[in-house]
Structure 1
Amino acid sequence: MTAASATLRTGTAAGRGTLLAAILASGMVFLDSTVVNVALPRLGADLGATVADLQWTINGYALMLAAFVLLGGALGDRFGRRRVFLYGVLWFALASVLCGLAQGTGWLIVARILQGAGGALLTPGSLSVLQASFHPDDRGRAIGTWAGLSGVSTAIGPFVGGWLIDTLSWRWIFFVNVVLAVPLVLIALRWMPESRDEDVGRRGAPGHRRRFDVLGALLGALGLAGITYALIDAPGRGATAPPVLGAVLVGVVAAAAFVLVERRRGEGAMLPPTLFRSRRFTVLNAFTVAVYAALGGFTFFLAVYLQNVVGWSALRTGLATLPMTLLLLVGSARAGALAGRIGPRLPLAVGPVVAAAGLLLLRGVGPGASYWTDVLPGVALFGLGLTLVVAPLTASVLAAVADRFAGVASGFNNAASRAGGLLAVAALPLLVGLSGTGYEQAAELTHAYRGALFWCAGLLVAAALLAGLLLTGAPAADPNAAPGNRDERQG
């Protein structure tokens, strides 16, 4: 099905069914992403986990998603978006069952890696199905509904997840995915139409640059995995231990090979080098890595700290960051409109500074803290700052490249955000000296928590400087524009 044959209408049974399936799929992924951090203290105690085990519980999933989400989108284009979407849902659900049944940390980490691979098939599919299936007159309404209700699932995630952890077990944050997956699959099989790009992969056809780039995806994953392994393993083995140095070498060589392969393949690559002729695109993605590294590090440490030091329940911990999500839901559209009127530079420079101020406030939280006076002000500031950033950032990334690169640019920016969180969770415990079972020791965790939030605030300030100093001028209309004109427009 091409764009011209997209005929679903939102008022029909097929349209409502397709939209519901996409919303349930996104809700499944968003629920998982919001509650696993909250579950870390409980599953850590239950399975006898070390800090490194907790890091891999988060990063095994994030690694696969960051590395293979672009490939997952290409698979849908080639073999059918509904087919790959459904494979992703089933894979994700089965891996979730394995997570919930885990009897040790090794089992859990492998299951989380498998879950991330399923997510890489599922995540791009939920939106691409809507884009390809709905009539142009209804497409905006369908995507808007999907975005709004997916946001609601994100907002209720901490409540549902915290309640499941406190009432039943941390294992149920994974088992609940099956409850969502079963009706999702039945609805998709009944109502969701199949679609694919018929010309993908044909030499000379308009879509040929979206061919599979399996080698690029594998090299990207290996580069991220090598660096991540070294950062996580260094506290226990020592920075000069042969496994750590070997992992660094593998990561660096794989990353260099990735760049060479992508450059050689040009527009046939998973990540066309043409995109980086736009300085604005490059700066915005560096900005993305810094902001989402701060977000990933903050949420990782806060969830463990509030339970193991402050003494809160999983439910109360999950609800602690709810104002941040609500601010994003209510304010993102307004922030996007503001950036449309005044340009993205000011929101992208001010937002991270506001968020950094929130993190510095949260460094003072300690045992016996009051939510309303000690936690809420910092969370609200952080959420306000993030709200100023998210919508303008997405719009700016798309505006920085030609329209024909919109899909890959959006996908790469999504991968960059996940890679930022991945690297932060890997690096911060090393930087603040947290290892072994130190997360269960109040004094050691307090020192690490305060140090980690300071580093996260620093990342946000660095992002603000990137935006303020380098996002000058208007975005280029085409990254293939003549170099003499492109630099002035982006400089």
Structure 2
Amino acid sequence: MGERAAAEAVRMGTPAGRAVIAAATLGSGMALLDGTVVNVALKTIGEDLDASLAELQWIANGYLLTLASLILLGGSLGDRFGRRRVFVWGTVGFAGASVLCGLAPTPEVLIVARLLQGVGGALLTPGSLAMIQGAFVKDDRAPAIGAWSGLGSIAAALGPFLGGALVDHASWRWIFWINLPLAVVTVVIAQRAVPETRDPNAAQHLDLGGAVLAAAALGGTSYALIQWGGPVAPWAGVLAVLAAVLFVVVERRVREPMLRLDIFRNRIFSASNAMTFLVYGALGAVLFFLTLQLQTVSGYDALEAGLASLPVTICMLLLAARGGRLATRIGPRVPMTFGPLLMAVGTLLMLSVGEDVTYWRDVLPGITIFGLGLALMVAPLTATVLAAAPDEHAGIASGVNNAVARAGSLLAVAALPVVVGLGGEEYADPVAFDAAYHSAMVICAGLLAVGGLVSWVAIREGAGARIHR
């Protein structure tokens, strides 16, 4: 493995292997924790800061916008300067932005702080996966990724409980400040025990033009969707289209692009990322709408709404690693097809969530099936994406997949309220939100079903062998 700066590749079950997984899990888990607690706190933040639905969408999406825009650059930086080093930079930056989020006096300030959080996330997120891909021997990568996915779900499992408890009994501001101790532990483990890996052939010049155009394309699209009907929205849409076209042109012509477009010539890589866009878009929208539905229509408090989705993270914790092992044995096509289909079934079952809700009858069956599908799909998808790219491009491959996932969630949360006719202060109106919720969940189920179909058609049976080649 020419990319290793340390001696030999590490194996599962060794002290070095546990250290790599621990650091990667804590770092990415910090970002997962932030995502789950912010969803739980949105309604309370809206009431405390007198925020509109559009401002709540930006609070949820501001982080995703800079994360998705810069995560490719973060992957490239890791390949060039060292995955561990850039991962540590991102962890420190994420923690600093979290402090600013907790201090925000207005929705506008909180949105800016969330944008800064995304910058830190763009450095740490691809680094967490790339550290695993670069450090472990090839046979242990899929199980290591599965363990990373499952253990990372502990943060997601704690998120609803901690977030709901803090919102109900302390202040929503503490949901950001809890990132600080996690960041300290993550940095200590990474610096002391994680071997450094890098790509010796990484680009020596930063593609800042590509990063700016990517941010303009995603930002313009998000603004056009969230502010739909406003006078500036059409111009934002035009800007987004122009930026997207120029991004492709620049990436084709620049000597050392942020995104190597030839990586998409691999059919497995392209299909896996198309499926990622659909599934993670639906995932983000389902959790966004379900959490607000339970609080606005069903009368749940923040803690109860957060804990309602706990079965998803329990399924991930117990089953995600097994999903990785299953893909190693039989190939990724079956789990990557039936995982999204199970998620679609669970989403449709949650249509029964309304004013007279009984958790055991209306929420638990659907959210559990949704979680089972997610656990079946996540590790095979991630391992397939990374296996489809050369080892020396692990950072950019993980960056692409993470960018696609965040962009899918970003655009779904931005677009669906517009599509289902929700806007202004209507998120606080039970009647209006209930009607919008049902339409949104049907659309999400459709996206998930299409994602499963893409996997079935495009992922070859033999692709599984590449996961452990």
Q: Hey, what does 2:361 align to over in structure 1?
A: 373
- Which sits farther off after the overlay, 115-124 or 13-22? 13-22
How far apart are the structure 2 equivalents of 1:260 and 1:464? 31
Contact 1:72–1:124 (CA under 8 A) maintained in structure 2: yes
Deviation track 1:424-449 (CA, whole Å, cap 9, x = no partner) reads 00100000111111010000110111
How far apart are the structure 2 equivalents of 1:182 and 1:47? 30
Amino acid of the structure 1 residue aligned with 2:281: A
- 2:417 pairs, out of 404, 425, 429, with 429
Q: Hey, what does 2:397 align to over in structure 1?
A: 409
SS at match of 1:170: coil
Contact 1:287–1:467 (CA under 8 A) maintained in structure 2: yes
How far apart are the structure 1 equivalents of 2:20 and 2:416? 41
Q: Hey, what does 2:87 align to over in structure 1?
A: 85
- 1:319 pairs, out of 307, 310, 313, with 307
Name the CA shift for 1:455/1:148 in 2 (closer, same or farther; >3 Å): closer
Deviation at 1:309, TM superposition (A): 1.0
Alignment of 1:215 with 2:209, yes or no, is yes
Amino acid of the structure 1 residue aligned with 2:416: L
Unaligned runs of 5+ residues in structure 2 are none
- 1:470 pairs, out of 436, 454, 458, with 458
How far apart are the structure 1 equivalents of 2:240 and 2:453? 28
Amino acid of the structure 1 residue aligned with 2:273: N
How far apart are the structure 1 equivalents of 2:222 and 2:114? 15
Deviation at 1:121, TM superposition (A): 1.7
Contact 1:9–1:15 (CA under 8 A) maintained in structure 2: yes
Name the CA shift for 1:114/1:284 in 2 (closer, same or farther; >3 Å): same
- 1:343 pairs, out of 317, 331, 334, with 331
Deviation at 1:14, TM superposition (A): 8.8
Deviation at 1:331, TM superposition (A): 2.2
Amino acid of the structure 2 residue aligned with 1:396: T
SS at match of 1:368: coil
Q: Hey, what does 2:252 align to over in structure 1?
A: 263
Amino acid of the structure 1 residue aligned with 2:454: L
Deviation track 1:7-52 (CA, whole Å, cap 9, x = no partner) reads 7989999987776554433332221121110110100111111111
Deviation track 1:337-356 (CA, whole Å, cap 9, x = no partner) reads 33344433333333222211
Alignment of 1:48 with 2:36, yes or no, is no
Deviation at 1:419, TM superposition (A): 0.6
RCO comparison, higher one (Cα < 8 Å, 6+): 2
Deviation at 1:60, TM superposition (A): 0.6
How far apart are the structure 2 equivalents of 1:169 and 1:119? 24
- 2:108 pairs, out of 100, 106, 109, with 106
Contact 1:432–1:448 (CA under 8 A) maintained in structure 2: yes
Name the CA shift for 1:194/1:404 in 2 (closer, same or farther; >3 Å): closer
Name the CA shift for 1:476/1:249 in 2 (closer, same or farther; >3 Å): farther
Name the CA shift for 1:124/1:314 in 2 (closer, same or farther; >3 Å): same
Pairwise CA RMSD: 3.1
Report the TM-score when normalising by structure 1.
Answer: 0.85
Report the TM-score when normalising by structure 2.
Answer: 0.89
Q: How many residue pairs end up in the alignment?
A: 464
- Write the mapping of 1:224-303 to structure 2, written as runs, cut at 5 A: 224-235=218-229, 237=230, 241=231, 243-265=232-254, 268-303=256-291
Contact 1:429–1:435 (CA under 8 A) maintained in structure 2: yes
Name the CA shift for 1:63/1:331 in 2 (closer, same or farther; >3 Å): same
Deviation at 1:180, TM superposition (A): 2.7
Deviation at 1:475, TM superposition (A): 4.1
How far apart are the structure 2 equivalents of 1:258 and 1:228? 17
Contact 1:230–1:245 (CA under 8 A) maintained in structure 2: yes
How far apart are the structure 2 equivalents of 1:341 and 1:456? 30
How far apart are the structure 2 equivalents of 1:391 and 1:294? 18
SS at match of 1:212: coil
Q: Which has the larger radius of gyration?
A: 1
- Write the mapping of 1:89-168 to structure 2, written as runs, cut at 5 A: 89-129=91-131, 147-168=149-170
Deviation track 1:289-315 (CA, whole Å, cap 9, x = no partner) reads 111111011011111111111011211
Contact 1:6–1:133 (CA under 8 A) maintained in structure 2: no
Amino acid of the structure 1 residue aligned with 2:41: A
How far apart are the structure 2 equivalents of 1:213 and 1:87? 19
Q: Hey, what does 1:30 align to over in structure 2?
A: 32
How far apart are the structure 2 equivalents of 1:96 and 1:79? 25
Regions of 4+ moved over 6 Å: 7-19, 133-145
How far apart are the structure 2 equivalents of 1:163 and 1:254? 42
SS at match of 2:386: helix
